[in-house]
Amino acid sequence: MATDRPTSASVSTKERPNRSGETETAILEAARDLLAEGGVDALSMRMVADRVGLSATAIYHHFAGKQDLVKRVVETGYQRFEEYGCEVMKSYPRGSLELLIALGEGYVRFAFENQAYFRVLFNIQRDPRDVEELPAGGGYHVLRQCVLEAMENGAIRQADPDLVAHYLWTNVHGLVTLILACNIQKCDCAAEVTLGSPVELYRAFTTFLTDGLRPPPSDSRKTQ
């Protein structure tokens, strides 16, 4: 079985059969693939080991346990997430409301293009002890900065920037988790209407986000 390992082969040269770093990344990649294929339940130590060509226990020489392995995989996924956000920021003027909206759309888009990562990243079943080591770290600060600039620019109302940032975050996060959880855009509970793709749904929300639910002044009905 060990002879199946691609990197060990029959190299009798000076180089070690497999430098630690190589095995580690091989494990991470196998774990990432399994995670993307079938979620965190599909990721078992033995399956990962099989793909890499090692015994399951070998993984414990590189990672503290399954939880640690998953965390490490997710960290790389989160980097992708941050890159995604940075990409969006290049396309819209700083301090604009449009940028805030676009960041939200990027969040939704990322979540659905990387569902497996997202599910694990924000796994609602997460161990409470991990709380402090969690996602959104860099991402949140970027969002908050954009909110601050938009506020200074007069693009959004004056308020606690953290409050606004959280508000924006909960909006997109709710959309994503709800769709992931029960496919709201096409289940019967969501009425007969088809509400379109997640991103389309988000776009349809933006009016409410920017102008609220209260009727505009022109909407001259009885004002309750």
Binders in 18-57 for a second copy, by CB under 8 A:
39-41
Stretch that binds DNA, among 48-56, 78-86, 136-144, 154-162 (CB under 7 A): 48-56
65 is a site residue for DNA (CB under 7 A): yes
By beta-carbon proximity to a second copy, the closer residue of 62 and 110 is 110
Stretch that binds a second copy, among 16-24, 49-57, 76-84, 206-214 (CB under 8 A): 206-214
Residue 88: which of DNA, a second copy, none does it interact with, CB under 5 to 8 A by kind? none
Binding-site member from 6, 25, 38, 46 for DNA (CB under 7 A): 46
171 is a site residue for DNA (CB under 7 A): no
Residue 61: which of a second copy, DNA, none does it interact with, CB under 5 to 8 A by kind? DNA
169 is a site residue for a second copy (CB under 8 A): yes
Binding-site member from 29, 33, 39, 44 for DNA (CB under 7 A): 44
Q: Give me the helix-helix angle, 97-113 and 66-90, nearest 10°.
A: 140
Cα–Cα distance, 176 to 201 (Å, whole number)? 10
Cα–Cα distance, 215 to 74 (Å, whole number)? 43
CB of 140 to DNA, least distance (A): 29
Binding-residue pattern over the window 115 to 154 for DNA, x denoting contact by CB under 7 A: ----------------------------------------
CB of 86 to a second copy, least distance (A): 17
Q: How far is CA 30 from CA 9, 22, 48, 51, in A?
A: 19, 12, 6, 6
Where on the chain is the footprint of DNA (CB under 7 A)?
A: 1-2, 14, 16-20, 23, 43-47, 49, 53-58, 60-62, 65-67
